[in-house]
């Protein structure tokens, strides 16, 4: 008798095994992957993991589909990502390369599940750089696939490529690619999806990518260039159908002036918060703050604050407004990131934030 009960199941997960036994086995494992204990059990058996990966292309679609869903569950676990990254095919292909090839195939029926796997695998911070090694040669192809919303011929939408790009943008190499690749700057292709109404996943991933770039002050000057038009994409989701006085309207980016009466703010609070966080980061340097003021960011946030109900979003909004309403001699530093805040003051500010949030709830 095998020490691991799963060892006996490996024989039923081979491509040549009886279809009914493969069905039963993969269904059982899929159920097992629905719990943390089950995932840990699966991850201890290398042969099982290898068999599941191989079944991604099974001739019976339901078996292949369940194998992919199982890998979605495994890749949602940090240890699962680590184990999957150890896998190599007979011709030495890494699992990332396998799934990139899957996404590139327009005839694959379950490419959405594969995009979820790639999104999951790029999430853990300790594996991002290893993933980037495999992604680098394919980035432009994947971005072109992403912006072609009808790329997959079998109905897959490929929305989860967006959070994948966002996760990858935690890497300095990807931030460099996003902003410096020639002849076309990749970020310019991603930005329109900050306002993509058909999918909150695409919007969130695109805005998450911008937010990650904003954490690095070296990119602020690039992000706020006129030809990038970033503020148009960031402010539109925060705007409703308010009317502004002419002098305020004139300051807004052209595309944001005189919005239609039916215009509504983005319904997803996490997206709104990500945008506010990005604006906050862009306030770090004096030159950037002046650009934000000159483009009417304060006016948009003022109206947004009247509408918002989420206490965390309100607090984040107020933090940006507090900076923008100050004159530069009141701000006190050209670069806010250089200001040293004592630990006792950090604790005091944190307590004040908590009290504010509690008072709004």
C-beta of residue 161 within 8 angstroms of C-beta of residue 115: yes
Model confidence at 348, pLDDT cuts 50, 70, 90, reads low
> What value does the mean pLDDT take over residues 234-258?
96
- In our burial notation (b when 16+ CB lie closer than 10 A, e otherwise), range 256-279 reads beebeeeeebbeeeebbbbbbbbb
Model confidence at 356, pLDDT cuts 50, 70, 90, reads low
Encode the chain in three state secondary structure: CCCCHHHHHHHHHCCCCCHHHHHHHHHHHHHHCCCHHHHHHHHCCHHHHHHHHHHHHCCCHHHHHHHHHHHHHHHCCHHHHHHHCCCECCCCCEHHHHHHHHHHCCCCCCHHHHHHHHHHHCCCHHHHHHHHHHHHHHHHHHHHHHHCCCCCCCCCCCCCHHHHHHHHCCCHHHHHHHHHCCCCCHHHHHHHHHHCCCCHHHHHHHHHHHHHHHCCHHHHHHHCCCCCCHHHHHHHHHCCCCCCCHHHHCCCCHHHCCCCCCCCCCCCHHHHHHHHHHHHHCCCEHHHHHHHHHCCHHHHHHHHHHHCCCHHHHHHHHHHHHHHCCCHHHHCCCEHHHCCCCHHHHHHHHHHHHHHHHHHC
Q: What pLDDT is attached to residue 251?
A: 97
17 vs 29: CA distance, rounded Å: 16
Question: Is residue 358 predicted with pLDDT exceeding 90?
Answer: no
Q: What pLDDT is attached to residue 335?
A: 76
265 vs 53: CA distance, rounded Å: 42
Q: Report which of 103, 77, 106 is spatially closest to residue 95, judged by C-alpha positions.
A: 103
Average pLDDT, whole number, for the chain? 92
Q: Report which of 58, 82, 77 is spatially closest to residue 68, judged by C-alpha positions.
A: 58
> Any idea which of 53-67, 76-90, 130-144, 212-226 has the lowest mean pLDDT?
76-90
The residues facing 88 across adjacent strands are: 94
The residues facing 335 across adjacent strands are: 285
Q: What pLDDT is attached to residue 3?
A: 66
Upper half-sphere CA count for residue 229 (Cβ side, 13 Å): 15
> What value does the mean pLDDT take over residues 115-136?
96
| Beta-carbon count within 10 A of 355 CB | 10
Q: What are 7-33's pLDDT values in tens digits? A: 888 999 998 999 999 999 999 999 999
Question: Is residue 258 predicted with pLDDT exceeding 60?
Answer: yes
Q: Tell which wins on pLDDT, 148 or 329.
A: 148
193 vs 149: CA distance, rounded Å: 11
Tokens of 122: 């790029």
C-beta of residue 296 within 8 angstroms of C-beta of residue 257: no
Q: What pLDDT is attached to residue 339?
A: 63
Model confidence at 1, pLDDT cuts 50, 70, 90, reads very low
> What value does the mean pLDDT take over residues 245-256?
96
pLDDT-above-70 percentage for the chain = 93
Model confidence at 200, pLDDT cuts 50, 70, 90, reads very high
> What value does the mean pLDDT take over residues 161-179?
97
Model confidence at 327, pLDDT cuts 50, 70, 90, reads confident
C-beta of residue 70 within 8 angstroms of C-beta of residue 26: yes
pLDDT-above-90 percentage for the chain = 84
Tokens of 43: 């991850």
């Amino acid at each position: 008798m095998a020490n691991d009960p799963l060892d006996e199941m490996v024989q039923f997960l081979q491509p040549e095994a009886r279809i009914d036994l493969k069905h039963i086995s993969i269904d059982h494992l899929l159920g097992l992957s629905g719990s943390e204990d089950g995932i840990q059990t699966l991850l201890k058996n290398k042969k099982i993991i290898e068999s599941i990966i191989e079944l991604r292309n099974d001739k019976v679609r339901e078996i292949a589909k369940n194998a992919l869903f199982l890998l979605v569950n495994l890749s949602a676990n940090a240890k699962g990502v680590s184990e999957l990254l150890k896998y190599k095919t007979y011709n030495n292909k890494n699992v990332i390369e396998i799934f990139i090839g899957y996404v590139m195939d327009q005839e694959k029926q379950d490419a959405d599940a594969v995009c979820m796997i790639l999104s999951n695998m790029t999430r853990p911070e300790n594996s991002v750089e290893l993933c980037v090694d495999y992604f680098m040669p394919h980035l432009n192809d994947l971005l072109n696939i992403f912006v072609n919303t009808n790329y997959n011929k079998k109905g897959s939408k490929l929305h989860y490529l967006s959070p994948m790009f966002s996760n990858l943008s935690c890497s300095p190499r990807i931030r460099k690619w996003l902003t410096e690749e020639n002849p076309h700057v990749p970020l310019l292709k991603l930005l329109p999806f900050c306002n993509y109404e058909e999918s909150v996943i695409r919007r969130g991933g695109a805005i998450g990518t911008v937010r990650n770039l904003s954490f690095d002050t070296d990119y602020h000057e690039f992000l706020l260039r006129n030809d990038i038009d970033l503020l148009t994409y960031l402010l539109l989701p925060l705007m409703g159908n308010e009317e502004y006085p002419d002098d305020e309207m004139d300051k807004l980016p052209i595309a944001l002036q005189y919005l239609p009466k039916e215009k509504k703010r983005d319904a997803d609070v996490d997206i709104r918060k990500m945008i506010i966080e990005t604006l906050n980061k862009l306030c770090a340097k004096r030159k950037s703050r002046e650009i934000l003021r000159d483009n009417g960011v304060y006016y948009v946030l003022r109206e947004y604050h009247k509408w918002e109900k989420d206490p965390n979003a309100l607090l984040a909004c107020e933090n940006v407004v507090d900076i923008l309403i100050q004159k530069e001699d009141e701000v006190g530093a050209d670069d806010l990131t250089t200001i040293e805040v004592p630990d006792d003051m950090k604790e005091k500010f944190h307590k004040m934030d908590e009290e504010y949030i509690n008072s709004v709830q």
